[in-house]
Amino acid sequence: MTKTITLAQGNGGEENNELIKKVFYKAFANEILERSEDAAVIGNLAMTTDSFTVSPLFFAGADIGKLAVCGTCNDLAMMGAVPKYLTCSVIIEEGFEVALLERIVESMRKELAINGAVVVSGDTKVVPRGSVDKIFINTTGLGEIVQEGISSNNITQEDIILINRDIGCHGATIFAAREGMEMSSTLSSDCNSLYPQVKALMDAGVKITAMRDATRGGVAAVLNEWAKQSNVCIEVEEEKIPVSDEVKGICEMLGFEATALANEGTFVLAIKKENAQKAVGILKGFEMCAMASAVGEVSQKYPKKVILKSAWGTSRFLETPSGELLPRIC
């Protein structure tokens, strides 16, 4: 590990994992933390925390406020929990406009309502100009687990891998905004609360093995984490991974892989084979999930690895993204 912190260590990929393991896990080691789930499971409660530093604060499809509620509520939903209580802690730079702050908080209020959650505690700090870039928000969430036993450690060959919608929209949107590219009027962030989709699946009796929202590090990071945590090989068919033309275009221009781009309303599911078709049907009932698709299977071919198979019969490993891809996307 490097002696000083570099931006690559916040990428949600290789370097980020190394930093967490060597510094935080080393100091805080305990059984709950080491399960490395989206949210910690304590009895029938799920608990998680997330900080939001996105730049720009407002972007196509969402803003930092919506993101701050979605991000935390989604981590709870991914553990089969209904989001209930949140804390909201903000660090604001001196000189920040109150009108903008109100806009951000209003976005948070709307998104809390969608999740049926409330903010029950908060903290406000104002720091001198230059100590922070405009505004950073931290939210911590507590949820009540509805479906037990969802875990990234339990995926087997009985499972099939699904993705709920087209991937990479958030990462592509933020990057396009930051680069000042106006190449598509339809491209917007996928930032969205996932609890309604999870609830629909659970209400229909779909037994979920694992769920994870593909934030920093994208779908590639999630699949690799799962392969390692469950000691399985995940075999994905590249042409089945849903990607919109807009995102493909940005990837072509800037040399990215859609699977490495961040998402804020996209999740990967592992469910029993017999439930796959039903689950895809339920997801497609949501407007943004028209491209929901089963993308791969689980095997023991290369345990702890993810294989990407092309439509012309070649295959390669899909690695955890590394390096500095998109700083401050969330």
Partner 1 sequence: MSSLELKDLYDGFRDPEVIKGYQKVIATDAQKLPHTINIMEVCGGHTHTIMKYGILQLLPKNIQFVHGPGCPVCIMPKERIDHAYVLSMQENVILVTLGDMIKVPGSNGSLQDARAKGADVRFVYSPLDCLKIAKENPDKTIIFFAIGFETTTPMTAALLETVIRQDVKNILLHVNHVTVPEPMRVLISDESCIIDAFLGPSHVSVISGSKIYEEFPRDWGKPIVVSGFEPVDVMQSISMIVKQFIEGRCELEVEYNRAVTREGNTKAQAMMDKYFQKVDFRWRGLGDIVQSGLGLRDEYDRYNAEKIYDAILPKEEIDDHKLCICGDILKGKATPPQCSIFGTACKPTSPVGSCMVSSEGACAAYYKYGNLI
- Residues forming the site for partner 1 (CB under 8 A): 2, 4-8, 14-15, 18, 179, 183, 239, 245, 248-249, 252-255, 302, 307, 310-317, 319, 322-324
Please state, as a whole number, how many other Cβ atoms lie within 10 Å of the Cβ of residue 183: 11
In angstroms, give the least distance from the CB of 261 to partner 1: 15
273 vs 301, which CB is nearer to partner 1?
301
Q: Which is nearer to partner 1, 87 or 315 (CB)?
A: 315
Q: Please give the Cα distance from 46 to 114 (Å, whole number).
A: 19
Q: How far is the CB of 220 from partner 1 (least distance, A)?
A: 11
Q: Which is nearer to partner 1, 19 or 41 (CB)?
A: 19
Among residues 137 and 233, whose Cβ is nearest to partner 1? 233
Find the shortest distance in angstroms from Cβ 249 to partner 1: 3
Between 23 and 183, CB nearer to partner 1: 183
Residue 324: phi, psi to the nearest 5? -95, 105
> Among residues 51 and 322, whose Cβ is nearest to partner 1?
322
- CB closer to partner 1 out of 8 and 232: 8
Q: What are phi and psi of 82, to 5 degrees?
A: -90, 125
Query: At its nearest, how many Å lie between partner 1 and the CB of residue 5?
Result: 6
Phi-psi region of 286 (alpha: psi -120 to 50; beta: other; left: phi over 0): beta
Q: Residue 167 in contact with residue 257, Cβ under 8 Å?
A: no
Question: CB of 74: closest distance to partner 1 in angstroms?
Answer: 28
**Residue 181 three-state SS:** coil
Query: Smallest distance, Å, CB 33 to partner 1?
Result: 23
Q: Find out whether 234 and 223 touch, Cβ atoms under 8 Å.
A: yes
Token pair of 329 as six digits: 């996307």
Distance between CA atoms of residues 35 and 10, nearest Å: 20
Going by C-beta distance under 8 Å and a sequence separation of 6 or more, which residues neighbour residue 78?
38, 39, 150, 194, 198, 211, 212, 213, 267
Structure tokens at 195: 């609890």
Task: List the end-to-end C-alpha distance of the chain, in Å, as a whole number.
Answer: 24
Cβ nearer to partner 1, comparing 93 with 319: 319
Give min distance, CB of 244 to partner 1, in A: 10
Helix (H, G, I), strand (E, B) or coil at 201: helix
- Residue 118's Cβ-side half-sphere holds a number of Cα atoms within 13 Å equal to 2
Tell me how far apart the alpha carbons of residues 58 and 45 are, in angstroms, rounded to a whole number: 32
Smallest gap from Cβ 271 to partner 1, in A, equals 26
CB of 309 to partner 1, least distance (A): 9
Q: Which amino acid is it at 34?
A: E
Tell me if residue 84 falls in helix, strand or coil.
strand
Q: Are 224 and 296 in contact (CB under 8 A)?
A: no
Sign of CA dihedral 220, 223, 229, 233: negative
Nearest to partner 1 of 206, 258 (CB atom) = 258
